[in-house]
Structure formats: structure tokens, C-alpha cells
Amino acid sequence: MTIGHKPIVAITMGDPAGIGPEVILKALIDPAVHRTCNPLILGDWGVLQRTERRQKKPPTLIRWDHGQSLASLFRRGGSVVCPLSTLKSTESRPAFPSKAGGHAAYGYIRVAAKLALSKVADAIATAPISKSILINAGYNYPGHTELLAELSRTPECRMMLIGKRLRVVPVTGHISFTQVARSLTRDGIRVTLELTHRNLRSLFGIGKPRIAVAALNPHGGEEGIFGDEEKKIIAPAVEAARRSGIQALGPFPADSLFHHAVRGDYDAVVCMYHDQALIPLKLHHFFGGVALTLGPPFIRTSVDHGTAYDIAGKGKADESSMKEAILLAAALARRTRRRRPE
């Protein structure tokens, strides 16, 4: 659903006790956001009002109540808020997460998925949640990706982390390091390569994506001396992807691969585990990095950081990742809309 030729981006507030409310309001001050999209915040009106009072230059917020026309609200300017919870100040105190906040955060994500699937929203941009608080509230998901996969009935999802000089996609997600090697499969790597290839073409307009694949073990296993996952799992998956027309290269030793990737030799790097992907991404793009979910039938971007309870409510949070997530969601929504047949 577009209003005034601008896509609607549903922005979930994340954990109410984290920095989500703050970085959203700070991001919405930038005129670039309003030039590119109609922001629709899914969150808590009271929490946003309390956060707004702590800011020197808060954005204009407009409450969307039942029965009101969404289009007419956006024509008034400002950012529209869909109030989905009414948390007490004790349940949403910055830096003090609560089970009620976990319930609320789940609800924001669930409604965002419904709005995107029903085409009311053109894209989703999410503020950070706490996995432990979400699970403590009764929702056993290790993160947004797995939850959105279930809500959209998508069998396979992956996360692409994006900066101006680097794109990375981990095969395995939020699991312990001791589980990584036994969780790697040829099919899992192949699916990751297929999703990466497809989205680089469809969303980023790269005709023939060059995808590098990182090895798991030091020196790429050194002919099996330091591990045989490269020979038994990774290399066969890469070869299978190549046979299907994907320009997959590797596996390459991870200690040197990212130098070449940042230099522009590859369009994305498929990594074997979370930190193998996130460490180089955050080294180069600690501020302003964005996550993009690959797989669901809608666009979803996110910040590439957590709830940062240690600085929540102190006005110190950097909003650049939130802003970039909203801008990327809007840009991809416009690109997707242009490709749709009339």
C-alpha cells in the first residue's frame, strides 16, 4: 500500500526497555526518511511519549486510532503510531526489561508481518529485541528471523548483513559455537547460496552476482589436517551451486577472504557461522550496518545491534543503523514495486 507514491514502512519498536524507542525517534527526525517513505510505528504510545520528552528535537507523532483513515493521517505529515500495547512505566523502564515488554515486542512483530502479508505495509524495519526476554515471555525463538519465518510460513530464511563495502550471509545463526560444525550440511549451504544469489539479483539488481564462500577451519582445513568440513561439506555444496548457474567461489580461508571482499572482488560472502560474518561487517560498519532477511515474501530490514540496555534511556544511542534500515526498506520496496506487472 503506497500513499502519495511513497511506500509504507512498518517500524516495530522492539524491546520497550531497550534503545529501540530512542533510535526510532532519532531516525525519524531526518527529512530523508519522510522523503522516501511513510513511517508507521508499531509500538506503545505511552513509551514513545515518555521517550519523546527526553529528546531535544522529537519528531511529530500522530496516533492511529481504530476507524481512522491511514491515508488521511499520513497526509497530515509526521509519523503515524499504531498503539499495540499500554505498558505501565514500571513495565517499560529503560534498562529494566520485563516479561510484559517481551509480550509487547512479540506483538509488534506479529502485527508487522500481518500488515506486510496483507500488503498494507510495503516493508518492515525492526528495532532490536532481547532473545532472552522474548523466550522468558513464552516465545521460544532465537531471534526475529526464525519468528518471521514461522509467521510467514517460509521454510528457509537467512540473514544478510549489509554495509557500504561488505555484504555477508551466515549459514548458521544464533547457535553455540560448539554446535556449528555439526549443524553444517550441504543442503544448508546450498540453500544459503541460492537465497543470496536470488536476492542479489532481484533486490540489488546485480545481474551475475559473485559470491565467495568462507571456509570453516584455519587455512581452509589445510588438506584435512585442521578439519575435513571443507572437503566433505562445503566444497561439494559450492560445486552443486555452480552447476545450477550460481557464481559461487571457494571455500576460501576466512583470514584473508574479507580483505578481498571489502576491496570489491565479491558481491557477498557466505559465512559458516554468526561471528565469522559479523566481526568483519562490524569492523568496517560498526555504525550504519543493516540486516536484511532473505526468504520471506516481504521486505524486512533491521538494525545490526542489540537492545543496549546499558545506555537505554540515557540519550546516547546512535540511530544510524535504524535510519539506514528504514531507508533500505523503503528503497527495496520501491524497487520491488517497479518490477511488478501492471
- The percentage of residues in the chain with a pLDDT greater than 70, rounded to a whole number, is 97
Question: What are the phi and psi torsion angles at 227 (to 5°)?
Answer: 140, 150
Please state whether the peptide bond connecting residue 251 to the residue before it is cis, i.e. omega within 30 degrees of 0: yes
pLDDT in tens, 300-330: 999 999 999 999 999 999 999 999 999 999 9
Please enumerate in sequence order all residues whose Cβ is within 8 A of that of 251, keeping only pairs 6 or more positions apart, or say none: 213, 214, 215, 216, 220, 230, 234, 235, 238
What mean pLDDT do residues 136-159 have?
94
Cα gap 321→34, rounded to integer Å: 16
**pLDDT of res. 338:** 66
Residue 41 has what DSSP assignment?
E
For 241-295, the pLDDT digits (tens) are 999 999 999 999 999 999 999 999 999 999 999 999 999 999 999 888 999 999 9
Residue 109: band (very low, low, confident or very high) from pLDDT cuts 50, 70, 90 = very high
pLDDT at 341: 45
**pTM assigned to the model:** 0.92
Is residue 342 very low, low, confident or very high in pLDDT (cuts 50, 70, 90)? very low
Computed over every residue of the chain, the mean pLDDT equals 94
pLDDT in tens, 70-86: 989 998 888 999 999 99
